[in-house]
Chains A and B, each alone.
Chain A
Amino acid sequence: MKKHGAMPGKEKVTAMDVVQKGLARRYRRERWFRRMGLAAVLASIGFLGLLFVSIIGNGWSAFTQAEVLLDIDFAAAQFDVDNLARANYGALVKKSLQKLFPGVKDRRQKRKLYRLVSSGAAFILQKMVMQDTSLIGTSRRIWLPADDEVDMLLKGYISRSVPESQRRLTDRQIGWIDRLIADGRLKKRFNTTFFTAGDSREPELAGIRGAVAGSLLTMLVTLLLSFPVGVATAVYLEEFAPRNRWTDLIEVNINNLAAVPSIVFGLLGLAFFLGVLGLPRSSPLVGGLVLTLMTLPTIIIASRASLKSVPPSIREAALGIGASKMQVIVHHVLPLAMPGMMTGTIIGMAQALGETAPLLMIGMVAFIVDVPTGLTDPATVLPVQIYLWADAPERAFVERTAAAIMVLLAFLICMNGLAVYLRRKFERRW
């Protein structure tokens, strides 16, 4: 009887009740699943934010630079009109400093005093005179870069409280600095040098223009070669190649290339591009070629994945109305697969943009002052510059390293922005 009484209930169990009973659990699971996804996205973005905050915190101060206002007397007697380069520009700076601190007489102390101004000041004056000879015979007030030690003190990276023997600036030097500050002659000003100069061993004269130009040239070569070749390879393998051992081999081989350490690509570049082809060492061309080989697997794999995901029905429909295979691919499959291909390209290019190790073997990890103008000029790239600065002993290079990273990230964000725009144009859902 009990059994019988339960019958109507049981009938319900077989139909809606099971659903109803499980519904709460299923919805809970649904919410939980959704929250997990959100958490994953937030975690990634949060980490990115953390990274940015720590880099910007370290690097923003590099955009200003301590400069000293000096009265430079371009006395005509100092210059030989025929040979302007020979004039003693260092002496101009020294004379002006002496005028500011007439009390300093001792030779050693004088040297300490001169050290407050960057050794690059003389070259700046030289350039000014070479550009405008009418300066000769006049007296000007000019802002000249201070030494990196002074810069670090002004920015608070060097503590004044430690004993004199443990700082690179003596108490007397700090006294002079304080007087200059009080006179309004020593100030932090916007660091234009950082954006207009090439590399230098003096932090206050070092800039990233050379590295940015090198990165641009290298990326140009990489993009122009890797995107078409990568997409073409993917199309061939996915659409044309017969399925056999040979294509299996190519597929495995491409996956495997992605795992080859990047420095090994450098070895290949050294052996082939430099050794066999005899292309010039340290050039953006060779760098771009090596990075192309390195990014190709990424682009190919991503492109194949997105080609695979284009539904066969689209191909069949196009074939059915009489399109040739090539027409199907060019007119229908490629546009649909484009967002995925672009994603792969962005990731690959981003990786190439940040890569240091392979360039080590082909001579791009180098001290290069002149800004490259062509594909065969010796050049370095941003991540290499970062790597080299990170290894420099001078304290002031720490903030410049971080600032260079900021520039690299800006570069990256621009590149991504462009790709996002393109991807939005192409993406569709069916």
Chain B
Amino acid sequence: MLSKDACRAIVLLAVALAVSPAAAGQGRDYISIVGSSTVYPFATTVAEQFGKTTRFKTPKIESTGSGGGMKLFCAGLGIETPDITNASRRIKKSEYATCRKNGVREITEVKIGYDGIVLANSKEAPRMNLSKRDIFLALAARVPAPDGGEKLVANPYRTWKEVDPALPDTRIEVLGPPPTSGTRDAFVELAMQGGCSTFAWIKTLKKTDKARFKGICHTIREDGAYIEAGENDNLIVQKLEANPRALGIFGFSFLDQNGDRIQGSLVDGEAPTFENIASGSYPVSRPLFFYIKDAHVGVIPGMREYVAEFTSDRAWGEDGYLADKGLIPMSAGERQRYAADAAALKPLILDDAGN
């Protein structure tokens, strides 16, 4: 009997618990940020500094992926929507249109710096010296026939030596991000397309038949040589350590942190170092962004201050704390320009962005 009594009390308490918080007609007093997992480590660093040095609460930052972040960000105005979204790529026209349709009319774009994309392998194996052409030939789904001529064949290369006699005689095994990843997108754009353009006849296609050109350059092989390894870059690093034959593709900060276990391959003769990426001589890096919902500034406490913290030289400058975390800073001029735009909340108009 007692147990039934207790049972009932629990049920009631549960009901009460379930309904009670709906009563909370509370406002939100912290900044809500969503978006890319690549920008996440940088944004969180800034948020923490911001929370500790100001009277405002530490912003809440979700790691949702750029696309999911944009979807939430563009869902409309109001406290239940995020105030800022991080992105590892620029906003798309269609997303911009969705934003405007849902009443998010003014957004400000802030570029925060670059993320280098490196190819790396275990220290136990020799360091690779790749050209973009090698990368293309090793990873594309279809490559120009090895005997020359303007014909495409399914990628026949099994080992690096077959691609380029100067490379070691090991099986091609590359762990990299899946097609849904911004890292993969940038890698394809910068490394593969670069290598692909070294074939004169493919390059001419770019002008005559753009679709075919991209089809050739952007499609990665799916016969097992390229292994889609998910977004957890630490896991890739550890898999590389366990498998010295494999090469991995990931963000620079992971190479930076694990310099004693893995080594970055040279691309076109340039090593993936902080200086080389910052100066632009290392060819594979991509910009990172965040977008501010202007209508929320002044309503959600602390937004202006957060943006000011992010765009201060102490954060994103050459010696700032973000550089410590692996963010490659922009040039001083670019920083100044973006900081000014951000402070003025200059709205983004996508037509002149020339996407």
Looking at A294-302, A303-311, A364-372, the stretch in contact with chain B turns out to be A364-372
Looking at B16-24, B170-178, B286-294, B336-344, the stretch in contact with chain A turns out to be B16-24
| A368 in contact with B63 (CB, 8 Å) | no
Residue B352 at the A interface, CB < 8 A?
A: no
| B260 in contact with A378 (CB, 8 Å) | no
Looking at A47-55, A162-170, A248-256, A344-352, the stretch in contact with chain B turns out to be A162-170
Known pairs A123-B52, A167-B260, A365-B62; A391 contacts B4 (CB<8 A): no
Taking the closest CB of chain A, its distance from the CB of B54, in whole angstroms, is 9
CB neighbours (8 Å) of A227 from chain B are 10
**Which chain A residue has the least Cβ–Cβ distance from B324?**
A115
**Which chain A residue has the least Cβ–Cβ distance from B55?**
A85
Residue B40 at the A interface, CB < 8 A?
A: yes
Contact of B22 among A202, A277, A378, A398 (CB under 8 A): A277
**Which chain B residue has the least Cβ–Cβ distance from A231?**
B7
Taking the closest CB of chain B, its distance from the CB of A158, in whole angstroms, is 7
Residue A111 at the B interface, CB < 8 A?
A: yes
Q: Which of B235, B259, B260 has the most CB of A within 10 A?
A: B260
- For the complex, give the distance between the alpha carbons of A392 and B48 in Å: 15
Contact of A388 among B63, B64, B80 (CB under 8 A): B63
| B260 in contact with A366 (CB, 8 Å) | no
| B61 in contact with A367 (CB, 8 Å) | yes
**Which chain A residue has the least Cβ–Cβ distance from B13?**
A224
| A391 in contact with B234 (CB, 8 Å) | yes
**Which chain A residue has the least Cβ–Cβ distance from B61?**
A367
Residues facing B in A320-373 (CB within 8 A) are: 330, 334-335, 360, 363, 365-370
Known pairs A375-B17, A391-B234; A228 contacts B11 (CB<8 A): yes
Residue A180 at the B interface, CB < 8 A?
A: no
| A281 in contact with B44 (CB, 8 Å) | no
| B259 in contact with A330 (CB, 8 Å) | no
Known pairs A279-B21, A366-B61, A376-B21; A391 contacts B48 (CB<8 A): no
Number of A-B contacts (CB under 8 A): 122
Taking the closest CB of chain A, its distance from the CB of B187, in whole angstroms, is 18
Residues facing A in B6-48 (CB within 8 A) are: 7, 10-11, 13-14, 17-18, 20-22, 24, 26, 30, 32, 34, 37, 40-41, 43-45, 47-48
Q: Which of B11, B43, B62 has the most CB of A within 10 A?
A: B62
CB neighbours (8 Å) of B55 from chain A are 85
**Which chain A residue has the least Cβ–Cβ distance from B58?**
A369
Interface string of B53-81 (1 = CB under 8 A from A): 00101101111100000000000000010
| B256 in contact with A224 (CB, 8 Å) | no
| A168 in contact with B63 (CB, 8 Å) | no
Residue A171 at the B interface, CB < 8 A?
A: no
Contact of B256 among A111, A334, A393 (CB under 8 A): A393
| A367 in contact with B319 (CB, 8 Å) | no
CB neighbours (8 Å) of B80 from chain A are 274, 278, 280-281
Residue B257 at the A interface, CB < 8 A?
A: yes
Known pairs A201-B325, A330-B4; A368 contacts B18 (CB<8 A): no
Known pairs A330-B4, A378-B30; A393 contacts B257 (CB<8 A): yes
Residue B321 at the A interface, CB < 8 A?
A: yes
Known pairs A392-B234, A393-B234; A168 contacts B256 (CB<8 A): yes
Taking the closest CB of chain B, its distance from the CB of A72, in whole angstroms, is 18
Residue A119 at the B interface, CB < 8 A?
A: yes
Known pairs A168-B259, A370-B57; A393 contacts B41 (CB<8 A): yes
Known pairs A166-B259, A224-B13; A375 contacts B233 (CB<8 A): no
**Which chain B residue has the least Cβ–Cβ distance from A396?**
B257
Residue A282 at the B interface, CB < 8 A?
A: yes
Interface string of A220-251 (1 = CB under 8 A from B): 11001101110010000000000000000000
CB neighbours (8 Å) of A202 from chain B are 48
CB neighbours (8 Å) of A392 from chain B are 41, 234
Residue B85 at the A interface, CB < 8 A?
A: no
| Interface footprint category on B | 35 or more
The majority secondary structure among interface residues of chain A is loop
| B41 in contact with A390 (CB, 8 Å) | no
Taking the closest CB of chain B, its distance from the CB of A392, in whole angstroms, is 7
| B21 in contact with A366 (CB, 8 Å) | no
Residue B208 at the A interface, CB < 8 A?
A: no
Residue B258 at the A interface, CB < 8 A?
A: yes
Contact of B232 among A168, A375, A391 (CB under 8 A): A391
| A366 in contact with B254 (CB, 8 Å) | no
| B63 in contact with A376 (CB, 8 Å) | no
Residue A403 at the B interface, CB < 8 A?
A: no
CB neighbours (8 Å) of A289 from chain B are 18
Residue B326 at the A interface, CB < 8 A?
A: yes
- For the complex, give the distance between the alpha carbons of A257 and B11 in Å: 23
CB neighbours (8 Å) of A225 from chain B are 14, 17-18
Known pairs A201-B325, A390-B234; A366 contacts B60 (CB<8 A): yes
Known pairs A159-B260, A201-B48, A278-B80; A393 contacts B62 (CB<8 A): no
**Which chain A residue has the least Cβ–Cβ distance from B259?**
A166
CB neighbours (8 Å) of B231 from chain A are 391
Taking the closest CB of chain B, its distance from the CB of A364, in whole angstroms, is 8
Contact of A168 among B45, B62, B257, B321 (CB under 8 A): B257
Residues facing A in B236-283 (CB within 8 A) are: 251, 253-254, 256-260, 263
- For the complex, give the distance between the alpha carbons of A177 and B327 in Å: 27
CB neighbours (8 Å) of A369 from chain B are 47-48, 51, 58
Contact of A201 among B30, B37, B45 (CB under 8 A): B45
Contact of A376 among B11, B26, B60 (CB under 8 A): B26
Known pairs A224-B10, A289-B18; A367 contacts B40 (CB<8 A): yes
CB neighbours (8 Å) of A280 from chain B are 21, 24, 80
CB neighbours (8 Å) of A85 from chain B are 55
CB neighbours (8 Å) of B11 from chain A are 228, 232
| A285 in contact with B21 (CB, 8 Å) | yes
Contact of B24 among A159, A228, A376 (CB under 8 A): A376
CB neighbours (8 Å) of A378 from chain B are 30, 60
| A367 in contact with B232 (CB, 8 Å) | no
Taking the closest CB of chain B, its distance from the CB of A86, in whole angstroms, is 10
- For the complex, give the distance between the alpha carbons of A227 and B266 in Å: 58
17 contacts between A and B (CB under 8 A): A119-B321, A168-B257, A168-B259, A201-B45, A224-B10, A225-B14, A280-B24, A365-B62, A367-B63, A369-B48, A390-B234, A391-B37, A391-B232, A393-B41, A393-B257, A393-B325, A395-B257
- 5 additional A-B residue pairs with CB within 8 Å, beyond A85-B55, A165-B259, A370-B57: A162-B259, A201-B45, A224-B17, A228-B14, A280-B80
B interface residue numbers (CB < 8 A to A)? 3-4, 7, 10-11, 13-14, 17-18, 20-22, 24, 26, 30, 32, 34, 37, 40-41, 43-45, 47-48, 51-52, 55, 57-58, 60-64, 80, 231-235, 251, 253-254, 256-260, 263, 319, 321, 325-326
